[in-house]
Structure 1
Amino acid sequence: MLRHIAILSLLISNNNMAIFSSLETLLVSLSLIILIICFKWISFDSKNKKNSPPSPPRLPIIGNFHQLGSSPRESLRDLSNKYGPLMLLHLGSIPTLVVSSAEVAREILKTHDLVFSDRPNLSIPNILFYGSTDIAFSRYGEYWRQLKSIVVLNLLSATRVKSFRQVREEEVGLVVQTLKDSRGSTVDMSALLGSYTSNVLCRVAFGKTYYELGFTDKLKKFVDMLGTFCVGSYLPWLSFIDRLNGLRGRANSISKELDHFLKGVIDTHMNKKTDGQETQDFVDILRDIQKDKTLGFSLNTNTLKAVILDVFVAGSDTIFSSLDWAMSELIKHPRVMKKLQEEVTEIGQGRSMIPEEDLDKMKYVKAVVKEALRLHAPLPLLLAREARDRVNVMGYDVPPRTQLIINAWAIGRDPASWTDPEEFKPERFLNSPVEYKGLHYEFLPFGAGRRGCPGLHFAIVLIELILANLVYKYNFALPNGVKDVDLDMTVANGVTVQRKNPLLVMASPRF
């Protein structure tokens, strides 16, 4: 393009360019550059329309960004209603497939899962996750395969999840006690559920909570930064803007702050003495793996930190938001609450608490959790993937390095897959084969395929246990005489789908 500009400038010079003032020369040059960019864009657009998926019209430079609006999950669903469940957008200079139906999701996540198993190279995750050396954002390859295998076998196996049962039950007991101490006064249920989630994760990962060091506040800044728009990830030639507006500087500052915290935690674990009886936390386990020279895989300290951050980022906001929405839906639907309380009361048999081993008997608890996750997918747009090779999807040609976004929120509300999709009806999951494991593509709260969330079992136990015990021990009402049906369900905009306003309740003992 620079060569074309030079030639055009020379032609203008030969036609008495000296008659123009310096200002006019600048304006003419800018006009020529804009014309050339538009010409290139039009040529590129027409060339790439051959056998491409349906695509809405786009603007030069920014592409379809202007059509995402304040709620991308809803905007993409609305666009898919017009252009189809597989459509092509251009986010800046990045071609992006958007999937909004179970049929297309099955085609991609089952038939072409390997092709779409890569992650795009994103600036902010690179800064926050030590060069994207974690599981969530690292590129597909031998490194990722070995790291995932180590984490799944050593941190997230069924046996390991069970080993933290005492931690979960103790934290549930603290929440129940807090409600008891409230004596019927108004309680911020959202804050209480957030503390429960954070405390369990801290104790599982670090062996203790870190109130005094403000870890929860640090983590919130970290997650907020992950959801910040980065110009350079979509318009690489304008990446300097991220430096000028201070985005990269803020990301580096947050990264250094958490790195300092994690270094302190790891140093403490290196020096601690154990009697061999206590349950190992995640840092202990990862430190043992670091020392094991027989694995054929080098787990350096930065990778250890990146994996720990994955646990918190993947777990804290998603588990909390799932719990918050489940409680909100139960309070808004007294019929469902009553039916759930009947089940837990029958199984609880007057005991002080429902233990984990009883969760398998609670079919309606499981149905309630699934229905809450269907309506309120914690990550409405699953983490972007990237095509490793050229592939044909549903008859359309998709070139390599095309990004992929799966709208799990839209799929969970698709009338083609669900009867009364906007209604909260847990009964739809009773006697249903639909599970979390990514084999039922109309229900993808944890994704599917190689890049599906490996921590789903850990998350579900956390959610089911506290939900069963809360409704077993207490009745809930809204303060200030607000009727259940009038509960505000406004959604806040962000990476995860969370309530805009906290859930305030009054709890009264059931017995």
Structure 2
Amino acid sequence: MLSLLFLFVLCLILPLFVFFQKHSTITHNPPGPKGLPIIGNLHQLDILNLYLQFSQFSKIYGPLFSLQLGFRKAIVVSSAEIAKEVLKNNDHVFSNRPKLYGQQKLTYNGSEIVFCHQYGDFWREMRKICVVHIFSSKRVSYYSSIRKFEVKKTIEKISRHATSSSVTNLSELLISLSSTIICRIVFGKSYENDENEKSRFHEMLHEFQALLAEVFVSDFIPFMGWIDKLKGLHGRVDRNFKEFDEFLQEIIDEHLDPNREHDADEDVMVDVLLQLKNQHLSSIDLTFDHIKGVLVDMLVAAIDTTSATLVWAMTALIRNPRVMKKVQEEIRNLGGKKDFLDENEIQNFPYMKAVIKESLRLYLPAPLLVPRESREQCTISGYNIPANTIVYVNAWAIQRDPNIWKNPEEFYPERFLESSINFLGQDFELIPFGAGRRICPGMSLGVASLEIILANLLFSFDWELPNGLVIEDIDDEMLPGITQHKKNPLCLVAKIPSV
């Protein structure tokens, strides 16, 4: 009887033990700050400086911690080792994007590659179109003449300032230059000579970028979406989308016009995409919305990130005269007595390339990259990560990690001269463009612009602070947004170097 009773109790207890063991494993989530019912941790977040706040949280909760954002779970990755786990070892799991109202609405419901929610056949085909037909090395080289022409024109503009020792607003000038280059590559024209069109374009773009970074309560607590309407967010999104859509349709209509006057050799991005659509050269049925989505990606990603990186590079150099002198000596010694440096010559400047890497390390344009979302449940560093979890990779914290970088807050390009670390997505200590399937496909186009602009700014001019300013007056405060621009404009005096 005792034996039978023991077996009976064992049969009751064993399933319960297995259940609780399994349940314990499933709920083994990463640590994180405690939140409140319904809103979770939303009330604790400093939206304007998330990367800084996440960096502080990681010091308390570790390099992988969790957050409850309303009804949505999120994790934050703050080490290169765990970033590799997420972006390489489990890249297929974390290849979705979170579906956020503003981003989806403004990008034609994710009909492009940056904010496309679902990783699948559509996204793979769209990425193939961009990689093969838009961002290939051949295509990037094809646009070198545009970059050269516009950079030369800007150097001439600065030269006029240099003769009178007047102050140059580099922030404004570099945004204008980046915008002109990208608009010519994408549309075949720029708006710099038409003040009304220029103002319209930049206002639209500025509002678009602000809305991409805006937090919609409905994304995290659906039944409280009325707050977004009360704040006027839906109205702003609708207006900006309509304005941008009409603008892009005007561009497309111009390029569809058989009577349009244009260079016979012209082959800008909108023409390439229209050709793919008209000739059915893609496995998906390309629509005008798909084309507009890709054009939006180009305008927002390329203009913003290139200009921001250039301003930060020049900021770092003016604050570090030793580095400025060293990089200018390299460029001028190898560049000779020419009045302009071509792109093929720039490949011979290892120290300048190290300066760009160091700028991207300290001042990467998107400190949290673009968030991802898990497609299914998986395990990261021993912790359970449920499906549909938002993933923030704090690249800013990783690229300033004292366990990886010696004196991480110091601007020291020499660290890259004897190192094979690069930003191509294979070294997780340096991931300004991301890594894995969702790495920025336009990286080569962006780097080409960065190199030719920075090389010629340093080759053609000596740069000084305006009268009355000292190095300590040059701050590194950032504006809020997906792309981190310098808060206060960088204003310097350009001088023609003495022979």
Cα gap change, 1:246/1:115 in structure 2, threshold over 3 Å: closer, same or farther?
A: same
1:163 corresponding residue in structure 2: 142
What secondary structure does 2:214 align onto? coil
CA distance in 2, matches of 1:470, 1:59: 52
Work out whether residues 331 and 477 of structure 1, in 8 Å CA contact, stay in contact via their aligned partners in 2: yes
- Answering whether residue 282 of structure 2 is matched by residue 295 of structure 1, we say yes
CA distance in 2, matches of 1:458, 1:294: 23
- Answering whether residue 469 of structure 2 is matched by residue 486 of structure 1, we say no
> Which of 109, 131, 134 is the matching residue for 1:152?
131
- Answering whether residue 337 of structure 2 is matched by residue 360 of structure 1, we say no
Work out whether residues 203 and 209 of structure 1, in 8 Å CA contact, stay in contact via their aligned partners in 2: yes
Cα deviations by residue, 1:340-381 (Å, 9 ceiling, x for unpaired): 001110121010101000111110111001101100110011
Alignment of 1:468-487 (within 5 A): 468-487=455-474
CA distance in 2, matches of 1:279, 1:381: 37
Cα deviation, residue 274, structure 1: 6.4
The number of residues matched between the two structures is 466
1:74 corresponding residue in structure 2: 52
1:194 corresponding residue in structure 2: 175
- Answering whether residue 34 of structure 2 is matched by residue 57 of structure 1, we say yes
Work out whether residues 75 and 390 of structure 2, in 8 Å CA contact, stay in contact via their aligned partners in 1: yes
CA distance in 2, matches of 1:482, 1:433: 38
CA distance in 2, matches of 1:507, 1:380: 30
2:94 corresponding residue in structure 1: 116
2:80 corresponding residue in structure 1: 102
CA distance in 2, matches of 1:339, 1:276: 42
Cα gap change, 1:350/1:485 in structure 2, threshold over 3 Å: closer, same or farther?
A: farther
Give TM-score, length-normalised by structure 2.
Answer: 0.91
What secondary structure does 2:75 align onto? strand
CA distance in 2, matches of 1:67, 1:201: 38
- Answering whether residue 201 of structure 2 is matched by residue 215 of structure 1, we say yes
- Answering whether residue 74 of structure 2 is matched by residue 87 of structure 1, we say no
2:429 corresponding residue in structure 1: 442
What secondary structure does 1:479 align onto? coil
1:505 corresponding residue in structure 2: 492
Work out whether residues 390 and 400 of structure 1, in 8 Å CA contact, stay in contact via their aligned partners in 2: yes
Cα deviation, residue 320, structure 1: 0.9
What secondary structure does 1:103 align onto? helix
Cα gap change, 1:198/1:298 in structure 2, threshold over 3 Å: closer, same or farther?
A: same
What secondary structure does 2:392 align onto? strand
2:155 corresponding residue in structure 1: 176
CA distance in 2, matches of 1:501, 1:175: 21
1:268 corresponding residue in structure 2: 254
CA distance in 2, matches of 1:389, 1:342: 53
Cα deviation, residue 485, structure 1: 4.2
1:342 corresponding residue in structure 2: 329
1:26 corresponding residue in structure 2: none
Work out whether residues 129 and 282 of structure 2, in 8 Å CA contact, stay in contact via their aligned partners in 1: no
Cα deviations by residue, 1:210-245 (Å, 9 ceiling, x for unpaired): 344221221111111111111111111212322232
CA distance in 2, matches of 1:299, 1:234: 32
- Answering whether residue 186 of structure 2 is matched by residue 205 of structure 1, we say yes
Cα deviations by residue, 1:381-411 (Å, 9 ceiling, x for unpaired): 1111111111011111111111101011111
Work out whether residues 125 and 283 of structure 2, in 8 Å CA contact, stay in contact via their aligned partners in 1: no
Cα gap change, 1:90/1:49 in structure 2, threshold over 3 Å: closer, same or farther?
A: farther
Match of 1:202, as an amino acid? C
Cα gap change, 1:294/1:318 in structure 2, threshold over 3 Å: closer, same or farther?
A: closer
Work out whether residues 64 and 75 of structure 2, in 8 Å CA contact, stay in contact via their aligned partners in 1: yes
Work out whether residues 365 and 484 of structure 2, in 8 Å CA contact, stay in contact via their aligned partners in 1: yes
CA distance in 2, matches of 1:361, 1:91: 48
CA distance in 2, matches of 1:120, 1:366: 34
Structure 1: where are the runs of 5+ without partners?
Answer: 1-45
Moved more, 268-277 or 129-138: 268-277
Work out whether residues 117 and 388 of structure 1, in 8 Å CA contact, stay in contact via their aligned partners in 2: yes
Work out whether residues 395 and 431 of structure 2, in 8 Å CA contact, stay in contact via their aligned partners in 1: yes
What secondary structure does 2:379 align onto? strand
Give TM-score, length-normalised by structure 1.
Answer: 0.89
Work out whether residues 378 and 496 of structure 1, in 8 Å CA contact, stay in contact via their aligned partners in 2: yes
For the aligned residues, what is the CA RMSD? 1.6
What secondary structure does 1:350 align onto? coil
1:141 corresponding residue in structure 2: 120
Cα deviations by residue, 1:33-66 (Å, 9 ceiling, x for unpaired): xxxxxxxxxxxxx999931111111122221123
Cα deviations by residue, 1:153-192 (Å, 9 ceiling, x for unpaired): 0000000000011110111112111111112101111000
What secondary structure does 2:128 align onto? helix
Work out whether residues 477 and 488 of structure 2, in 8 Å CA contact, stay in contact via their aligned partners in 1: yes
Match of 2:67, as an amino acid? L
Work out whether residues 436 and 456 of structure 1, in 8 Å CA contact, stay in contact via their aligned partners in 2: no
Moved more, 297-306 or 59-68: 59-68
Moved more, 271-280 or 429-438: 271-280
Moved more, 348-357 or 59-68: 59-68
> Which of 304, 311, 323 is the matching residue for 1:324?
311
What secondary structure does 1:219 align onto? helix
CA distance in 1, matches of 2:317, 2:262: 44
Cα deviations by residue, 1:91-117 (Å, 9 ceiling, x for unpaired): 121100100000100111111000000
Cα gap change, 1:275/1:193 in structure 2, threshold over 3 Å: closer, same or farther?
A: closer
- Answering whether residue 245 of structure 2 is matched by residue 259 of structure 1, we say yes
Cα gap change, 1:154/1:294 in structure 2, threshold over 3 Å: closer, same or farther?
A: closer
CA distance in 2, matches of 1:242, 1:135: 26
CA distance in 1, matches of 2:263, 2:314: 39
What secondary structure does 1:223 align onto? helix
CA distance in 2, matches of 1:280, 1:222: 27
Cα deviation, residue 480, structure 1: 2.4
Cα gap change, 1:249/1:382 in structure 2, threshold over 3 Å: closer, same or farther?
A: same
CA distance in 2, matches of 1:174, 1:62: 52
CA distance in 2, matches of 1:275, 1:100: 50
CA distance in 1, matches of 2:78, 2:255: 45
Percent identity over the alignment?
39
1:29 corresponding residue in structure 2: none
Cα deviation, residue 313, structure 1: 1.0
Moved more, 328-337 or 123-132: 123-132
Structure 2: where are the runs of 5+ without partners?
Answer: 1-22
> Which of 379, 382, 390 is the matching residue for 2:366?
379
Work out whether residues 437 and 448 of structure 1, in 8 Å CA contact, stay in contact via their aligned partners in 2: yes
